[in-house]
Amino acid sequence: MKTKRSILALGAFFVAVALAVSACGGSSTGDSVAVVAGNPISTQAFKHWMFVAAKGQAAQSPGQPVIVPSDPPQFKSCVAQVRQKIPSLAKTSDKQLASDCKQLFTSLSSQVMDFLIKAYWYQADAHRFHFAVTNAQIQKALAAAKKSQFPTAAQFQTFLQSSGLTNEDVLFRLRVSQLYNKLLAKHPTTVSNAQISSYYQSHLTQFGKPESRDIRIVLTKTQAQARAAKSALQGGSSWTAVVKKFSTDASTRKTGGLLKAVTKGQQDAALNSAAFAAPRGKLGGPVKGQFGFYVYEVTKITKATQQTLAQATPLIKQTLQMQVTTSAQTAVDTQAKKDWGKQTTCKAAYAMADCNGFKAPPAAAAAPTGTGSAAPAPTGTTP
């Protein structure tokens, strides 16, 4: 199967970091895939977002049917879907189809569970820090996104249908995205001129090219052979002929002894010292090196170049911005996991990196607190 597009990328025009509803209301722990601080993530919500993920995966291959492998461990429903939607697999065994369904389930499930669990974590941490966004702010963000990406209502509806999302899903993602951005803002997310200057000074070689030289050489075993080669060149013989007759350097025998764009330190130390001290067009040698005796001539000198700080600033700023943004994102995730990770459990079939699997979710406990009142559980639509 082709690589699946992450559910986090769906509707990316709306949010920088995709978030999702976990639809806890009215769900018992027995009918849930996970519990976060006493709040169950319903099987219904999981199936909804598996459908969204499956639609995204199918969209990568035009004509591929949407298969939602959400019934572990036997995957009977998935197998039935495959047989119904892909006639070419009609003769494939149930065992093989179940194995394929399991592989797809594992891939999509880890994305969906990460998606749902972190939605709760971010909301809960935002609540602890008294961060909030109003409905008016969310509607304003939605209007701006629609204007930018979907000029007509019909285009927006087409997007919802093709992605499997609902309008309520989008509104929720916008709300939690804004809360997430407030959490990010607790950490450094800007780059100063001083940081740019410091980076430039410590990475000068990244913003310039050293001097380079084209050098013709003849390498011989003895000094006498080197002198004979030099004499032949001075007498008018071509480099091609002299190299073919005298040189032991296999790498340049077919190029008339030419080494192109040599920078300091690339060649034998003795040759390097002599060639980078020589003027262009003057025959030199013999010089004794590590591998024998060299006769040489510099044929071209390309001067070193160096970007100014002003010229290098855009790239440096982009590089540092990525670093500080990644650092802030890591800090937010680390803090969220520290605050809620131990209170997050999953059924074994739905386990992933941030949620260890257990035979069944624990009974609902008190919702997390941070301000003296219960943190709000994620809400939204679960078609």
Which CATH number goes with the domain that contains 132?
A: 1.10.4030
pLDDT the model gives residue 116: 92
Q: Does 378 map to a domain?
A: no
Whether 315 has a pLDDT exceeding 80, the answer reads yes
DSSP 134-163: -HHHHHHHHHHHHHHH-SSHHHHHHHHHHH
Mark whether 320 and 233 lie in a shared domain: no
58 and 159 share one domain: yes
Instruction: Give yes or no for residue 280 having a pLDDT over 50.
Output: yes
Q: Is residue 201 part of a domain?
A: no
Do 142 and 285 lie in one domain? The reply is no
149 with 171, same domain: the answer is yes
Q: Over 60: is that where the pLDDT of 260 sits? A: yes
Same-domain status, 120 and 264:
no
Residue pair 320/198 in contact by the 8 Å Cβ criterion: no
Quick check: is 370 in a domain? no
The average confidence (pLDDT) of the chain is: 85
**30 & 162 share domain:** yes
Q: Do residue 226 and residue 166 come from a single domain? A: no
Q: What is the domain range of residue 299?
A: 211-303
Q: What is the CATH classification number for the domain harbouring 271?
A: 3.10.50.40
Number of folded domains that form the chain: 2
Res 29: pLDDT = 55
Distances (CA, A) of 76 to 33, 85, 100, 212, 371: 18, 14, 12, 67, 46
Q: Are 8 and 333 in contact (CB under 8 A)?
A: no
Query: Which residue from 114, 120, 117, 74 is spatially nearest to 97, judged by alpha carbons?
Result: 74
If asked whether residues 119 and 37 sit together in one domain, one would say: yes
Q: Does residue 200 sit within a domain?
A: no
pLDDT at 30: 66
Place of tokens 């050489």: 217
Distance of alpha carbon 284 from its chain centroid, rounded? 51
Q: Are residues 155 and 283 in the same domain?
A: no
Spatial distance between the Cα atoms of 370 and 108, rounded to a whole number of angstroms: 32
Instruction: Give the pLDDT confidence of 228-239 residue by residue, as tens digits.
Output: 999 999 999 999
